[in-house]
Each structure stands twice: as structure tokens, then as C-alpha cells.
A and B are shown apart, each in its own frame.
Chain A
Amino acid sequence: DAMVIQNPRYQVTQFGKPVTLSCSQTLNHNVMYWYQQKSSQAPKLLFHYYDKDFNNEADTPDNFQSRRPNTSFCFLDIRSPGLGDAAMYLCATSRVSAGRNQPQHFGDGTRLSIL
């Protein structure tokens, strides 16, 4: 089945040690999103790529960066993770035709722990 794949499912890193989370898709969608979801909270949009155009949410910390080398892959880089960055990170994709309102398809998420 075409899908959104996130690796790894669980990631443990040390305080301050850079970490990269990956997302790939076989849906050929032109928009890819990264969300942060903390326990018992709604997903919070960090940023998204519309094709190659990067769109950062105003309140996304500078610590978070993203790369999209091609249509299929998108990476989330956390340069110096703090304890507050421990969360589930969700990748999503959508096909934009008329506006950004097509359903988003989510991966299984990567749960990040900080030691």
C-alpha cells in the first residue's frame, strides 16, 4: 500500500546531541508536514514543504530545521535537543490541488526520548 513511512519508530538521544528523524512517502504528494505532539495534546504544526518551498510556523523554535531533498523524503533535524523536545513527531503528506485542504495522510510517528 502507498503510505507515509517514518523511521525510526522510537528514537533516544542525549541532551544536546543532534538528532534527525526521517519521513518518506510513496503517495507522490507535493506537500509534506512535520508535527510535534506532546502527551495528551493535539498535534502542533512545526513546518511544511510545498514542493521545495519551506514554510515555517512562527512559533517553531530555531532548534528545529527541516530538509526535503526530493519529493519522497523529508527530514526533521533537532540541533540541540532539550528535555522539552521529548514528544511524538508526526509526518504527514497531502496533495494540493485547490488550496491546502486535502486530507493529510500521517505516518506512524517517531517517539523521541531525551536522556
Chain B
Amino acid sequence: AQKVTQAQTEISVVEKEDVTLDCVYETRDTTYYLFWYKQPPSGELVFLIRRNSFDEQNEISGRYSWNFQKSTSSFNFTITASQVVDSAVYFCALSEEGNDMRFGAGTRLTVKP
């Protein structure tokens, strides 16, 4: 069975601080996919990144970076120099080969000016 745990329910930081959102997953498959989505107050889910299980290379996109570690079954997301516009709920999700996507419970990030 596939499972995603986002232990941090809420995080609050001050603008320009770095923040890391944790994601731990469980799967018995060797082929799987991990995702991060952002849900701002307006409600839509915005796709941020997909990573497959065979690609452990970390990724950086502007102020966003992702650290995928199979040894600890984690796929953590770091925002550098956070901004107020980063305030949102962030969901980590897992999809095993041929199966639908399952979301973690989400982490609500508040960035204060």
C-alpha cells in the first residue's frame, strides 16, 4: 500500500527565511513517482515537480529545491528566501506504477512580512 506522511501540519516563517517541508513515503514498489503540489488560498492545485524512483538527483528551480533520498524514503522541499506569496498549503503525493496518486495531509505554510 502506498502512503505519504507530512508530519508538519503548519509552519510559520518570516519573509526571507528558508523553510523545509518534509515528506516521507511508504511503498513496496521499486517503480514509483513523487510529486509536490501547491494550493494557494484561491484553491487550485498547482503542480510543482515530479520525480521518479530511479532519479535521485536533487533539483533546483529558482528558490525551490527538492531533496530525494531513497535511503530514508523522503522527498523534502525547501524554499529559499521565502516570500509572502509562498503562503499556501503544500501537498506531497505518491503514485505507484499504474496506480492513482495519493496525497499527504498537506503542510500549511504561512510567510509573514
| Residue ranges of A at the interface with B (Cβ–Cβ < 8 Å) | 33, 40-43, 45, 48, 88, 90, 92, 99-109, 111
Mark the stretch among B18-26, B58-66, B101-109 that contacts chain A.
B101-109
B100 touches A103 (CB 8 A): no
Closest B residue to A102 by beta carbon equals B50
Q: Which one of A102, A103, A108 has the greatest number of beta carbons of chain B within 10 Å?
A: A103
CB distance from B110 to the nearest CB of A (A): 14
Closest A residue to B98 by beta carbon equals A99
A108 touches B106 (CB 8 A): no
CA distance A99 to B43 in the complex (A): 27
A to B contact number (C-beta, < 8 Å): 53
The 9 closest A-B pairs by CB, nearest first: A42-B103, A106-B45, A101-B33, A108-B44, A109-B43, A103-B47, A101-B95, A99-B98, A99-B97
- Taking A103-B50, A106-B44 as known contacts, 18 extra A-B pairs with beta carbons closer than 8 A to each other, sorted by chain A number, are A41-B105, A41-B106, A42-B104, A88-B43, A90-B45, A99-B97, A100-B95, A102-B50, A103-B47, A104-B45, A104-B101, A106-B45, A106-B46, A106-B47, A107-B44, A108-B43, A109-B43, A111-B43
CB distance from A66 to the nearest CB of B (A): 15
